[in-house]
Amino acid sequence: MSLPSDLLTKFDESMVKAGYTDRSKALQTAIHSLIDDYSWKTNDRSKGAGALVMLYDNHVFNQDKKSTKIQHKYADVISASMHLHLENDNCLETIMVRGDIQKIRELAKHLSENRGIKSLKVNFITLV
């Protein structure tokens, strides 16, 4: 594999900052990340696992009730969830998921359509 020297220098600097001492391991991690990202964005029908992290105002448009109703429809891919009360009316919720990537994408889409959601991030890995 050949890389431009400035790219390799930036990679090595980032690798050290991330705590890697072995370039091979850092490259493996980067390659897995690319594969996971591609699998998440494509219509791949493979399996995966991850977490959906939502920040929302729990008093806007009955967000709590809407979120719960949606989550019940996706019980087959939801393994667990955790709710954290932040300041004022803000809440942080993490939903642990596993299973069909397409179904998890649908869950994320339906949750993000709620007006009370301020942010929804997906951290996802494919299961090999």
Phi, psi dihedral angles at 72 (to 5 degrees): -65, -30
* CA pair distance 104, 74, nearest whole angstrom: 8
Tens digits of residue pLDDT in 32-49: 888 777 766 666 678 889
Tens digits of residue pLDDT in 66-105: 888 899 999 999 999 999 999 888 889 999 999 988 899 8
Phi, psi dihedral angles at 78 (to 5 degrees): -90, 125
pTM score of the predicted model = 0.74
Q: 123 vs 23, 29, 53, 94, 98, CA distance in Å?
A: 24, 14, 8, 10, 11
Quickly count: other Cβ atoms within 10 Å of residue 40's Cβ: 19
**β-bridge pairing 78-85 and 117-126:** unpaired
- Coil, strand, or helix at residue 43? coil
